Amino acid sequence: MPKVGIVVGSIRKNSFSEQLGKNIVELLPEGYEAEFIEIGNLPLYNQDSDEDIPAVYTTFRETVKALDAVVFVTPEHNRSVPAALKNALDVGSRPYGSNVWNGKPALIVSHSPSNLSGFGANHHLRQVLAFLNMPVVQQPEVYIANVHELLGEDGKITNQDTVGFLQSAVDALVGLVTKYEA
């Protein structure tokens, strides 16, 4: 059964990112499994830890290694990727030569409470994932605007057009999983 990791770029409780992530899980086809990947517990990476590896790094790397695909759902922090998300990408990319992200199909979903939709974060993340050798869904690009108006009190997306659009993005990711597992 293919396993999709949901990596949430925000580490605050009940973030819009997490709520969007839960909606996206519902759109995965039958037979797919989803797992939210904890990133808020990872100490800030530095190369000394390649010698004395923190146990949480090992757990994180093993968890990512077992995934078949990754969905990144992220806000934008100062026109880029939140530091916690960049740290998680760095932790998974090292020690040199053992990048656990390698070859895993990915979908990027960015959002903001404004019309900007996290465009800067979305494209900075694309740049990093290119180097980490992750085949990323190119179309559709997913920029969610006015996220605070999109989610009901139960955390569900209220706009069915948005649900349909996200479904098309998830379908594109599933297409990549099928292609790369073949």
Ligand X SMILES: Cc1cc2nc3c(=O)[nH]c(=O)nc-3n(C[C@H](O)[C@H](O)[C@H](O)COP(=O)(O)O)c2cc1C
Say whether residue 12 binds ligand X (CB under 6 A).
yes
Stretch that binds ligand X, among 24-32, 109-117, 149-157, 166-174 (CB under 6 A): 109-117
Helices (H), strands (E): how many in the chain? Answer: 6, 5
Q: What is the DSSP-derived secondary structure letter of residue 8?
A: E
Q: How far is the CB of 144 from ligand X (least distance, A)?
A: 10
Stretch that binds ligand X, among 15-23, 44-52, 90-98, 161-169 (CB under 6 A): 15-23
Tokens of 31: 């037979």
Q: How far is the CB of 82 from ligand X (least distance, A)?
A: 8
Select from 5, 6, 7, 17 the one that contacts ligand X (CB under 6 A).
17
Q: Where are the beta strands (DSSP E) in 112-182?
A: 142-144
Q: How far is the CB of 20 from ligand X (least distance, A)?
A: 8
Name the 3-class secondary structure at 82.
Answer: coil
Select from 4, 6, 7, 10 the one that contacts ligand X (CB under 6 A).
10
Say whether residue 75 binds ligand X (CB under 6 A).
yes
What does the angle CA 11 – CA 152 – CA 80 come to, to the nearest 5 degrees?
Answer: 35
For residue 88, is it left (φ>0), alpha (ψ between -120 and 50) or beta?
alpha
Q: How far is the CB of 166 from ligand X (least distance, A)?
A: 16
Pick between residue 93 and residue 112 the one whose CB is nearest to ligand X: 112
Name the 3-class secondary structure at 153.
Answer: coil
Select from 41, 114, 127, 178 the one that contacts ligand X (CB under 6 A).
114
Q: 159 forms bridges with which residues in the sheet?
A: none
Say whether residue 77 binds ligand X (CB under 6 A).
yes
d(CA 78, CA 56): 28
For residue 146, is it left (φ>0), alpha (ψ between -120 and 50) or beta?
left
Stretch that binds ligand X, among 11-19, 89-97, 152-160, 172-180 (CB under 6 A): 11-19
Q: Which residues bind ligand X (CB under 6 A)?
A: 10, 12, 15-17, 75-79, 112-114, 116, 118
